[in-house]
Amino acid sequence: MTVLHESADIDRPVEEVYAYVSDFATTEEWDPTVLGARKLTPGAIAVGTQFEVVCALPVGSVTLLYTVQALQEYTRIELRGTCAFFDVEDVITLSGTATGTRLDYRAVFHFKPVVATVAAFSQKGLEKMGRESVAGLAEALRDNFPLKANSRATRIADKWVLPGVAMFSRLGYSLGRKRFNPMSAYLRNQHMMVTGASSGLGYAAASELARRGAQLTLVMRNREKAERTVAEIKRVTGNTAIRYELADLSLVSEVDALVARMKKRGEAIDVLINNAGALFNPRQETAEGLEKSFALLLVSPYRLTEGLKPLLASAECARVVNVVSGGMYSQKLDVDRLQMPDDAEYSGSTAYARQKRALMVLTKLWAKQWRTDGITVNAMHPGWADTPGVQDALPLFRKMTRPVLRSVEEGADTIVWLAAATEAGDASGALFLDREIRPDHLLNSTREAPQECDKLVALLNGITGSR
C-alpha cells in the first residue's frame, strides 16, 4: 500500500472548486499523467458515476475505471479507481477558509502482487507524481492564465497558405491541444445562447457547455428536433437549465420575433454563439426574397446580435462568438456581390465564403463599437470537422479528406473555449483557431476598404424582411 497526501489553498469559493473537481473528466486538464478522461455514466455526477481515465506509464499507458463511492456536496468526494496493475482510493476534502478553499487530496494505492515490488522501489517517483497532480489541480483552479502567444508551428504556418490550410485538419488540432490550458471557470450563473444546436458543432458546443454547468437557450428551427436535442443534452449531462427557442434563422421575420421573445423574457445573455449555418447549392431565395446564404449566414447573425445587444449589455461581461470559416480567406468583402444575383455566377462555396468574410468584418466592427459596453466579440473557425453539414453539402470534399477531418468535438472546442475560458474574455475583434489568434487575412488582396465596411452596415440596416 502506498499513500500520497497533498494539500493546496485555492482563492475561490468551495462551490466553484467542488463543481470542477467532482467532474473527474477534468483530470485530463490538470493531471500531467493523464492522457485522456471521459465521463461514462449519463446524468449528474452522483454515487456510482464512472469515469475512464487513461494515464501515462514510464512505458505505455494504462486505463483506469474510476467510480464515485461517496459525495458530500461542497465538502468531500471519494472515488475508487481500478486497472490491471493497481487499485486506488482517492479522497478529496474541501473546506472553506477566510480567502477561499482548502483542498486536501489523499490517494491510497493497492498494487497487484506482480507490480508491488516495482512500486516499492518507485515510492519517490509516485510521491513526485502526486505532488505534480495536486499542483496541476491548484493551478487549474487558480485560473490565472494569460492569452497565449502563437506557437512556432502556427507562426510558420500562417506565413504560407498551404501549411496554414493544413492546420484546418486534425493535425492542427492535435498540435494546438498540447498547449491548451485548463478551463475551470464557473458557468452555473452564465446564460448562453447557441444557434444551430440540433446538429454538428452547435450540438457539440452546447453539450460541452451544459456539462460545464452553463444555463442554455438553444435556437433551433424544428420543434421535434429541438425537443429531442434538449432532452438528450439534459440526459447525458444532468444539467436541467436548458431550454429552446424556435426560429428559422433564414427569415428576418423569425429572427425579429426571436429577439422580441428574448427581450420580453428580459434575461441577461452572457454569451451569444452565432453558429447556425449551411451551404446552398444551387442558388435559393427565402420567402422574403433574400439569397439564402446571405440571409442565414449574415443577415441573421447581424440582426440577432444587434437586437440582443441590450441583453448582452446587461450581463456583467458578455461575449459574442461568431462561427466563420477558413473559406473566407479566399474572399474580399464586396457588398454589391454578396447575394450573387446572377445565377450563372453563383457557386454555393463562394456565396458561403463571402458571407463568412462579411461576418468577420462585423466581428471587428462590433468589437470596436461595444468595447465600452463590456461586450467582447470574437470569431472562430473550426477547421474542417466531420459534421452532418459537411456530409450533406460537400460529399466529395468529405470523401477526399475524411482521414484528416476533425471530430465534431474537436471542431467545436474553440467555440467552447471562447464562451467559457476566463482568459478568452481578454480578447475582442480577433479570429481564433485552436484557441490561438490567427490572421483574418492570408492574402493582402482580400483586405477590405473602410468605405466597404460602412456600405455593409448600411446594406444590412436597410433590410426589412419584406419583399
Ligand X SMILES: NC(=O)c1ccc[n+]([C@@H]2O[C@H](COP(=O)([O-])OP(=O)(O)OC[C@H]3O[C@@H](n4cnc5c(N)ncnc54)[C@H](OP(=O)(O)O)[C@@H]3O)[C@@H](O)[C@H]2O)c1
Measure the CA–CA gap between 346 and 343, rounded to whole angstroms.
Answer: 5
Q: Is 395 in the site for ligand X (CB under 6 A)?
A: no
CB of 292 to ligand X, least distance (A): 8
CB atoms within 10 A of CB 118: 11
Q: Tell me which H or E stretch contains 228.
A: helix 223-237
Q: Between the CA atoms of 380, 383, 385 and 391, what dihedral angle is there, to the nearest 10 degrees?
A: 100
Among 22, 26, 184, 250, binds ligand X (CB under 6 A): 250
- Smaller CB distance to ligand X: residue 36 or 388? 388
Among 164, 176, 182, 200, binds ligand X (CB under 6 A): 200
Measure the CA–CA gap between 321 and 317, rounded to whole angstroms.
Answer: 13
- 111, β-bridge pairs: 86
Q: Which stretch, 183-191, 195-203, 339-347, 453-461, contacts ligand X (CB under 6 A)?
A: 195-203
Q: Of the candidates 269, 290, 296, which has an alpha carbon nearest to the alpha carbon of residue 358? A: 296
Measure the CA–CA gap between 428 and 319, rounded to whole angstroms.
Answer: 9
- Smaller CB distance to ligand X: residue 212 or 381? 381
Q: Is 187 in the site for ligand X (CB under 6 A)?
A: no
Q: Is 142 in the site for ligand X (CB under 6 A)?
A: no
Edge-to-edge order in the sheet of strand 215-220: 242-246, 215-220, 191-195, 271-274, 318-323, 375-380, 431-433, 436-438
Q: Is 248 in the site for ligand X (CB under 6 A)?
A: yes
Q: Is 360 in the site for ligand X (CB under 6 A)?
A: no
Q: Is 164 in the site for ligand X (CB under 6 A)?
A: no
Q: Is 388 in the site for ligand X (CB under 6 A)?
A: yes
Q: Is 384 in the site for ligand X (CB under 6 A)?
A: yes
Q: Is 172 in the site for ligand X (CB under 6 A)?
A: no
Q: Give Cβ neighbours of residue 166 (< 8 Å, ≥ 6 apart).
A: 157, 172
- Smaller CB distance to ligand X: residue 51 or 173? 173
For ligand X, what does the binding mask look like between residues 396 and 415, x meaning CB under 6 A? ---------------x----
Q: Is 216 in the site for ligand X (CB under 6 A)?
A: no
* 375 within 8 A of 318, measured Cβ to Cβ: yes
CB atoms within 10 A of CB 447: 11
Buried (b) or exposed (e) across 363-402, using 16+ Cβ within 10 A?
bbbbbeebeeeebbbbbbbbbbbbbebbeebbeeebeebe
Q: How many residues bind ligand X (CB under 6 A)?
A: 29
Measure the CA–CA gap between 342 and 331, rounded to whole angstroms.
Answer: 18
Among 76, 225, 337, 441, binds ligand X (CB under 6 A): 225
What's the length of the chain? Answer: 467
Q: Which residue is nearest to ligand X (CB)?
A: 200
Active site residue 352: yes
Q: Is 222 in the site for ligand X (CB under 6 A)?
A: yes
**Placement of cell 474542417 in the chain:** 384
Cell of 32: 500531467
CB of 305 to ligand X, least distance (A): 14
Residue 371 half-sphere exposure toward CB, CA atoms < 13 A: 9
Q: Which stretch, 138-146, 371-379, 382-390, 457-465, contacts ligand X (CB under 6 A)?
A: 382-390
CB of 384 to ligand X, least distance (A): 5
CB of 302 to ligand X, least distance (A): 14
DSSP-derived letter for residue 330 is G
DSSP-derived letter for residue 446 is G
CB of 196 to ligand X, least distance (A): 3
- Smaller CB distance to ligand X: residue 228 or 371? 228
Among 183, 271, 308, 323, binds ligand X (CB under 6 A): 323
Site for ligand X in 270-309 (CB under 6 A): 275-278, 296
Alpha carbon distances (Å) from 308 to 79, 92, 258, 328, 406: 44, 42, 10, 26, 32
- Smaller CB distance to ligand X: residue 41 or 199? 199
**Placement of cell 497526501 in the chain:** 5
CB of 341 to ligand X, least distance (A): 21
CB of 275 to ligand X, least distance (A): 5
Q: Is 432 in the site for ligand X (CB under 6 A)?
A: no
Q: Which residues bind ligand X (CB under 6 A)?
A: 196-202, 221-222, 225, 248-250, 275-278, 296, 323, 325, 381-382, 384-385, 387-390, 411
List residues with catalytic annotation: 352
